[in-house]
A and B are shown apart, each in its own frame.
Chain A
Amino acid sequence: METRLLNDLKKLLGADMVLHQPEELLLYEYDGSVETARPNCVVFPQNKEHVLGIVALANRYKVPIVGRGAGTGLSGGALARHGGIIVSFTRMNRILDVDVENQRAVVQPGVVNAELTAVTAPLGLYYAPDPSSQKACTIGGNVSENSGGPHTLVYGVTTNHVLALEVVLPTGELVRLGNRAVDSVGYDLPGLFVGSEGTLALVTEVTVRLMRMPEMVKTLLAIFNTLDDTTETVAAITADGITPAACEMLDGWTLRAVEAYVHAGFPLDSAAVLLIDIDGTREEAESQAEQVADVCRRHNAREVRVARDAKERDLLWKGRKNAFGAVGRFSTTYYVQDGVIPRTKLPQTLRRITEIGEKYGYQIGNIFHAGDGNLHPLILFDARSEKQLRGAVAAADEIIEFCVQMGGAITGEHGVGMEKDRLMPLIFNENDLEVMRRVRDAFNPTGILNPDKVLPMKKGCGEIYARPLPDTGASPS
């Protein structure tokens, strides 16, 4: 990287806010995915003026820029695929406003997801989207990826909770999209920018909706002897007209891994369990919990446990949220996949995943958001072997292809990033993708921001494809 650019960045941010030594950059080669890519430098802006300055420099030196929160992403969204500057938002981590009356919060992008709930909980409020990495991941990263989590089944994912954004466009403009009231007039710009995976803008401020804590939460653990009974129960709960706050499934193998680590009391000999939250007023939670327990029993649950208090509930959820960590005790590396299917297709999809694991010779654990059909197969492999990595990716691709055959999608909450851009043609044809490319090019015309993510290159096209639309000279109106 040009020394002049490094010097300009240091002048803008201070020397200690610019990392460029190889050993300093090592950490930033990774996120939570199996991809790696090394940036040329990492910078830490502390305010939006810094972000504007960084974007101006990147444009002047024609160097790619990639935004990054905590680096917990699972699709390589925050990796510098073609090198360049990583803009880490960890120093922009202030909660700017919590408005109890209007149930709004305004935060900088580096605020950690769980911190927002921790700060607002004493006021009776919380921030609903709760990715499993919520103790580390940032709201800015959540906005870029449109993150979900177990409790998004009834309350919705990030996009359903974001009212307004302040962003810096790669062309160097600071823009506010939406405001603190609902129904912003005009095109739904926040709706487009949330989930654009850092390819349209860098987010410098986020206005979110806060939810009121429910009066009661009932947590149920339903234990099954067969996978089919478990998956059929999920569809039956929905068919019965109940939408739980969360409905998570852990298969037997994952359960045993988790139990050895968390000691939550998960049964070691079962085929699978469902972890279900029901919330609302006391009357709603109690009656729906009874209804759900009935459905589980009708579908051969051998036992339905109800957490007696908050302590028991937290322990069960600790098992779920720390599952990926627990798996680390069995395998040095694992590949977390993310596919979606219509929830009625769970039985055959889980059977297929088992077959694919056997075919390629990998242990695959399943721990996922069963209620909305969002699968997370965990493929265990040894990263020291290139062959093992390639095999794991091939197995994962086959799983995703099956999800698409079932009427599903290639990612439910982890994003496309640099992991699945090549899989986009499984669900989108060239017309669909071309419109998305043009939208990207309208905001990111030189491709300087997070290049080569989300959208695959055109077929048989190795050259620069980011071609702006021909300007016809006609006014659009």
Chain B
Amino acid sequence: MSLASKTVSARLPDIVGATHVIGEPAQLAYYEIDGKIPGAAVRPGSREEVAEVVKFAAAENLAVIASGARTKLGIGLPPARYDIAIDMARLDRVIAYDRADLTLAVEAGHSLSKVIGLLGDHRQFLPLFVPYFNRATIGGTIASGVDSPLRQYYGTARDYVLGVEYVTHEGVLAKSGGRVVKNVSGYDLHKLMIGSLGTLGVIVSVNFKTFPSPVETRGFVAMFDSAEKAVEMRHRAAKSPLTPLTMELLSPRVADLFASEAAARICSGAMPPDALSPKHWAFTSGYGGNGKVLARYETDFRKMAEEAGAVRAAVLDANTRPPAFSRKREFIPIALSASFSPATTIAKISVQPGNLIEVLKAAQETAESYSLDWAALVRGVGVIYLALLPGDKDEQWRARVMNTTNEIFAACERVGGNAMIPWARSGWKNTLKLWGPERGDFAQMQKLKKVFDPRGIFAPGRFVGGL
């Protein structure tokens, strides 16, 4: 046992209680990240205990990584150091829910789906329908910065997170923002925390703006025989007076993914028959409102689909929409399922909507030139989730995935977009452009990392450029 781990096992029980310190190798394996297993894991029971754990880690120069349900730790480079896992599961309290004000303050370890269930009892919700929805925690969702199909209307977390409380590198609690829906008091440091993978501090609680649930929702699906036509449908919808809640394009291969057993295991309910077809690109959109509003959306969507050259179109109702919606939400876990590939790699590429077809074409041609199976889910705002499904996990397939992503990223860069690889095999990560092409603003990110984490104890090495 190293000197560091001796100190760890002696001191941590004082902070969180002996029953909440894990030192057994067998149990510690659960906290593995990219092959690295920490020396100890702790399960603090309060925000103050998290602060004490960090204070101790800082004094001993030990690296900490906080995690919730551990569903999104695939994102990021392998950690440079990983001494203590901070398991946030016991921080699961709702601090305040002011329903008439539509605001919510909740601890980081709280289950996301449970909190949305609680809001649902009051006809409200959070538009965070993210991958691994049923297991995800609030803190992991915010720290990983994953998006939701509902961003089409509601934006991303940065648009409705009102404030964050976090533990600094000195082991003290600090906050940014507040609990009111409009606030310009001080710097918006909470925006920096969103998607920072815990590299700036440990998020212990998050304040949200909540939203009233739509009265009723429907889904519209239209099938096209080319990506061009599906993208054209997206453009027509964007130019129309409609403001749908979700808008996505699905590549033909997605039909197989969504109809699979893997999808059935992850999502509840069966995919409505004929909703998708493995021969067609699909345009899908969810919308909400009363009967009159729903009728208007259906009429307009059907007309647009016809003009854009749809092969067929259908409306999904209260029974058929949820299974389809949950599969869109879980596109990444479904694609990562071993039944499609032993080494699924997910690239995320965002471009201006006008560049979508160009980049989609480049993606398709590149993947096919390397004989890589692929599937794509494209958000209407211009975000492409490209699942590359190599036939094996050996060196030859790794090289194909690497070349494909490098070429697609170059195409993305030419049109001024953003690209990264949120999910890839651990062993492949260091050879892929996991955080995309080099960035002109990296020096500014380094400045921030140095302010928030001068000793490099927060998830070191995992973020952009190894921050």
Partner-B contacts on A (CB < 8 A): 99, 101-104, 145-146, 148, 152, 156-157, 159-160, 173, 175-189, 191-192, 194-196, 212, 214-215, 235, 238-239, 241-243, 280-284, 287, 340-344, 369, 372-374, 407-416, 420, 424, 427-429, 431-436, 438-443, 454-455, 469, 472, 474-477
Contact = CB atoms under 8 A, between A and B. Distances in A.
Given A185-B435, A188-B158, A191-B158, A212 B239 contact: yes
Contacts of A413: 182, 184
Contacts of A215: 241
Q: How large is the interface on B (under 10, 10 to 19, 20 to 34, 35 or more residues)?
A: 35 or more
14 contacts: A175-B440, A182-B156, A182-B350, A183-B147, A183-B383, A183-B418, A185-B439, A191-B188, A242-B212, A287-B289, A340-B181, A416-B184, A431-B172, A477-B466
Interface in B406-453: 416-420, 435-436, 439-453
A101 B357 CA distance: 13
Contacts of B348: 183
B195 interface: yes
A439 B191 contact: no
Nearest to B191: A191
Q: Which 7 A-B pairs have the closest CB atoms?
A: A191-B191, A241-B212, A215-B241, A342-B101, A102-B352, A186-B464, A412-B182
A184 B191 CA distance: 13
Interface stretch (B23-31, B42-50, B304-312, B455-463): B455-463
B353 interface: yes
B62 to A, nearest CB: 13
A191, A408, A424, A441: residue with the most chain B Cβ atoms closer than 10 Å: A191
A476 B184 contact: no
Contact of A476 (B176, B192, B439, B454): B454
Contacts of A182: 156, 350, 381-383, 418
B449 A477 contact: yes
Nearest to B415: A181
B73 interface: no
A366 to B, nearest CB: 16
State the main secondary structure of chain A at its contact with B.
Answer: loop
B293 A281 contact: yes
B439 A186 contact: yes
B47 to A, nearest CB: 13
Nearest to A427: B185
A241 B125 CA distance: 11
A176 B186 contact: no
A175 B466 CA distance: 21
A94 to B, nearest CB: 20
B120 interface: no
Contacts of B435: 185-186
Contact of A101 (B123, B353, B460): B353
Contacts of B184: 145-146, 148, 157, 195, 411-416
A178 B444 CA distance: 12
B93 interface: no
Given A101-B354, A189-B441, A340 B464 contact: no
B174 A431 contact: yes
A185 B445 CA distance: 11
A415 B98 CA distance: 25
A195 B452 contact: no
Contacts of A282: 296
Interface of B: 80, 98-103, 123, 147, 155-156, 158-159, 168, 172-176, 178-189, 191-192, 194-196, 200, 211-213, 215, 235, 238-239, 241-243, 289-290, 292-293, 295-296, 348, 350-354, 381-383, 416-420, 435-436, 439-456, 460-461, 463-467
B216 to A, nearest CB: 12
Nearest to B176: A432
B183 A411 contact: yes
B213 A241 contact: yes
A317 B453 CA distance: 49
Contact of A432 (B103, B186, B241): B186
A214 B187 contact: no
B189 A436 contact: yes
Nearest to A406: B180
B409 to A, nearest CB: 11
Nearest to A407: B179
Given A284-B293, A411-B184, A476-B446, A238 B352 contact: no
Given A185-B418, A235-B100, A476 B436 contact: no
B185, B212, B416: residue with the most chain A Cβ atoms closer than 10 Å: B185
A371 B88 CA distance: 35
A26 to B, nearest CB: 29
A412 B182 CA distance: 5
Given A192-B189, A283-B289, A477-B449, A186 B441 contact: yes
A189 B100 CA distance: 33
Given A186-B445, A188-B192, A342-B101, 6 more contacts: A179-B417, A212-B238, A340-B183, A342-B103, A436-B186, A442-B451
A189 B420 CA distance: 17
A465 to B, nearest CB: 16
A185 B436 contact: yes
A442 B447 contact: yes
A159, A181, A235, A476: residue with the most chain B Cβ atoms closer than 10 Å: A476
Contacts of B295: 283
Contacts of A177: 441, 444
Contact of A281 (B98, B194, B196, B296): B296
A439 B187 contact: yes
Given A185-B418, A281-B241, A407-B180, A160 B155 contact: yes
Contacts of A414: 184
B238 to A, nearest CB: 8
Contact of B183 (A156, A180, A185, A412): A412
A157 B182 contact: yes
A159 B194 CA distance: 15
B178, B435, B442: residue with the most chain A Cβ atoms closer than 10 Å: B178
B289 A284 contact: yes
Contacts of B186: 416, 424, 427-428, 432-433, 436, 454-455
B155 to A, nearest CB: 7
A189 B445 contact: yes
Contacts of B155: 156, 160
Nearest to B192: A187
Given A181-B416, A476-B453, A409 B351 contact: no
A145 B182 CA distance: 13
Contacts of A180: 352, 416
A369 B235 CA distance: 34
Contacts of A191: 158, 188, 191-192, 194
B454 A184 contact: no
Contact of B179 (A102, A342, A433, A441): A342
Contacts of B456: 474-477
Nearest to B61: A474
A443 B381 contact: no
A368 to B, nearest CB: 11
A102 B239 CA distance: 10
Given A188-B194, A189-B441, A427 B178 contact: yes
